[in-house]
Amino acid sequence: MHFVKYHGLGNDFIIIDRFRGPEPSFREELVEDLCRRGFGVGADGVILAEPPLSSGDARMLIYNADGSQAEMCGNGIRCLAAFLKEEGHVSANPMNIETGAGVRVVEVLEKGESGRMVEVDMGLPDFYRPSIPMEGEGNQAVGVPLEVPGKTLVVTCLSMGNPHCVIFVDDVQGFPLENLGPSIEHHPLFPQRTNVEAVEVVGEDRLRVRVWERGVGITLACGTGACASFAAALAENRTGKRVWVELPGGELDIRLGDGGHILMRGPVVEVYRATLSEGWLKTRSPRKG
């Protein structure tokens, strides 16, 4: 099985090209093993690059590292756009990529010292509880209490095509995201689980963010998480209309566009191209536990 490895600020993905036809060796049950560091390729997710189903230029299917399928991934779609451009699968620029959260418009820009710059229109943030989805009273969950083991947090929840729970903190490095992330991800108020962002407001144009990604855990970066953090900060009047979001893997440039759409720009890098050995595919990797 052939694949290409990309990353956006350390948020890394295995991209499998299905433009030239189905990849017979790929099976959904391989995703967890493929992403398992030390025993497989190692990645935060697997992306299938596919021809469009309808009016788009391409289609993205994305799996989290635990094998679950995600609706949308901001860094993943930026990596995919660069891959599609590099392979010559899509000549349009900007391009329309179909996702589980709808069509996203992505533009591949110039190459810089940190990689190929790619901008994506992430669409409108959605704070309506049923859209997230999130159980509970009221139409929205902006600055509301959330009970977790041992404490009560104040959170703002929304959808960026996938669910997010944003927590504003004084010190993002000191916040116990490793301990609280799993409890929040699997909280009964989130029927489809949720991503979790700890956000420190550094200034009117700067946020510092750490992310517990649904189905993955702590990641070096998360595009939808960065956008959700920005949208939540705007909703609570904590920032201006353009911010730099500092993540452990680097920075993203995020701003408010026309009609309230959120635009995200940042670098992506092709890491390597490779072929999985037949031996690995036959035996797969040892299971955890």
Q: Which residues are the active-site residues? A: 73, 222
Torsion region of 64: left, alpha or beta (phi above 0 gives left; psi -120 to 50 gives alpha): beta
Residue 242 · residue 205 · CB < 8 Å: yes
Residue 82 · residue 119 · CB < 8 Å: no
